[in-house]
Amino acid sequence: MTSPKFYQLSKSERLARLVEANQLSEKDAQFLAQSQPLADELADSMIENYIGQYHLPLGIVQDVMVAGKVYQVPMAIEEPSVIAAANNAAKMMRLNGGVTIESGQRVMFGEVVLTDLPQLADAVKWVDNHFAILQTVAQKAHPSIVKRGGGLQKITTTIVENRFLKLNLEIDTKAAMGANIVNTICEAIAHAVQATLGGTILLSVLTNAAFGSVVKASVTLNPETLATATLTGDAVAQRLIDATQFAQLDVARAATHNKGIMNGIDAVIMATGNDWRAIEAGAHSYAARTGHYQPLTDWSWTSDHQLRGQIAVPLPVGIVGGSIGILPTVQVAQRLMVIETAEELAGVIAAIGLGQNLAALKALVSDGIQKGHMALQAKSLAIAVGATASELTTLLPQLLKAPHLNTETATTLLSQIRA
């Protein structure tokens, strides 16, 4: 008899298997087994007006191969089908050599905007000619990031509508996402510039259009990998390319295409204690950077008839800072991933986004999205109408055979089982 697959195990069996494979320590497995809430004292110190806690399930994508290394990737998410799809994609990508990362620069951008400057052109010249002075201001504002090898790298200036002077600050925040570091430096620079040039400081803050932290990842697949019971791999691959080209032309489709990508990205962002609002704002502003909202991935044939997928997305993630060092589950998630740098984490997250897109498009252009979702939807519905774990075994097969999968059907079937 073959041993059951990971998804067929109970939670405690899964944890035991991760420990057995040396992917999780005994201590971390015990922590996850207990599912303890945050200590009230800690939670109360994190936010204003604390009144309770909100829980999400934590799951795992197994064996995601990125740049030759295999990762166990945690996901915090409520949507039923996301982890199953990510695992499916991880397997397809691994069988084809995994995901390759093209590492680019990793800097955060901050904006300092001044108004009421009588001589805008002179102001631009002054800023352009006095970078060394402004860099010293930045160093004094945040000396520890400079000691870590980061800090202000560059300032560029733009006059907007002959009214606003905008300084774009490029800041290396090392292993942190860096919002607070950037904001501290922006405010110091704003005051230094105003002290010399006059004018009024309108605002000084980071921009979430984090185009200095774009990660590019790609995968090349033998189309045979995509074959289904009714379609050849070639046919699925061609339809996947067509669907991507349609998304390039149709904003309504591009938004959904990108939502599928963010299903994976956000879930890992959450599990690793990063700021998903920042990641969402960055991804969608990047998708719209040409003025025409575009899909974040592209799929095409290579010259030797392989299917190549690429993703480019800003991922200004941190492995320190914010709530990362505070939330115990985030620390377990980091240990599970065995991540050493923020760049490495960003690469794995880009790979997850690309895989999520592959799985979603494959389902969409072959069997349709609902077939795979049905069993998971039925389970959510059954739980929502009050089915217990033992009732699920009887209720689910009946629910899946019913002509309409809805609350009324689930409630009727459950009461028949209980009668």
Contact 129, 120 (CB under 8 A): no
Q: Of the two residues 147 and 292, which places its CB atom closer to ligand NDP in the complex?
A: 147
CA 78 to CA 348: how far, in whole Å? Answer: 21
CB of 111 to ligand NDP, least distance (A): 11
Q: Of the two residues 284 and 362, which places its CB atom closer to ligand NDP in the complex?
A: 284
Secondary structure (DSSP) of 276-315: HHHHHHHHHHHHTTTSS---SEEEEE-TTS-EEEEEEEE-
Binding residue (CB under 6 A) for ligand NDP from 60, 165, 217, 278: 278
Sheet containing strand 297-301, strands side by side: 100-102, 214-221, 307-314, 297-301
Q: Which stretch binds ligand NDP (CB under 6 A): 16-24, 299-307, 316-324, 349-357?
A: 316-324
Catalytic amino acids?
79, 259, 275, 373
Residues in contact with ligand NDP, total (CB under 6 A)?
21
Cβ neighbours of residue 108 closer than 8 Å, sequence gap 6 or more: 170, 171, 172, 173, 177, 178, 179, 181, 182, 206, 210, 212, 213, 316
Write out the two tokens for 263.
């299903």
What are the CA-CA distances from residue 393 to residues 359, 372, 386 (Å)?
A: 27, 19, 13
Q: Of the two residues 186 and 381, which places its CB atom closer to ligand NDP in the complex?
A: 186
Q: Of the two residues 94 and 174, which places its CB atom closer to ligand NDP in the complex?
A: 174
Q: Which of residues 111-150 bind ligand NDP (CB under 6 A)?
A: 144-145, 148
Q: Which of residues 256-275 bind ligand NDP (CB under 6 A)?
A: 275
Contact 108, 316 (CB under 8 A): yes
CA 41 to CA 15: how far, in whole Å? Answer: 28
Instruction: Rule CB under 6 A: say whether 151 interacts with ligand NDP.
Output: no
Binding residue (CB under 6 A) for ligand NDP from 206, 287, 348, 396: 206
CA 363 to CA 357: how far, in whole Å? Answer: 10
Binding residue (CB under 6 A) for ligand NDP from 29, 155, 181, 219: 181
Q: Which stretch binds ligand NDP (CB under 6 A): 69-77, 131-139, 167-175, 305-313?
A: 167-175
Binding residue (CB under 6 A) for ligand NDP from 320, 375, 376, 402: 320
What are the CA-CA distances from residue 295 to residues 284, 354, 358 (Å)?
A: 9, 11, 13
Instruction: Rule CB under 6 A: say whether 345 interacts with ligand NDP.
Output: no
Q: Which stretch binds ligand NDP (CB under 6 A): 5-13, 175-183, 290-298, 398-406?
A: 175-183
Q: Of the two residues 148 and 379, which places its CB atom closer to ligand NDP in the complex?
A: 148
Write out the two tokens for 373.
């979702």
Instruction: Rule CB under 6 A: say whether 180 interacts with ligand NDP.
Output: yes
Beta strands in 128-281 (DSSP E): 151-160, 164-172, 200-206, 214-221
Q: Which stretch binds ligand NDP (CB under 6 A): 320-328, 350-358, 361-369, 377-385?
A: 320-328
CB of 97 to ligand NDP, least distance (A): 31
Instruction: Rule CB under 6 A: say whether 321 interacts with ligand NDP.
Output: yes
Instruction: Rule CB under 6 A: say whether 110 interacts with ligand NDP.
Output: no
Write out the two tokens for 89.
């994609």
Q: Which stretch binds ligand NDP (CB under 6 A): 14-22, 47-55, 292-300, 313-321?
A: 313-321
Contact residues: ligand NDP, CB under 6 A: 144-145, 148, 173-181, 206, 208, 275, 278, 318, 320-323
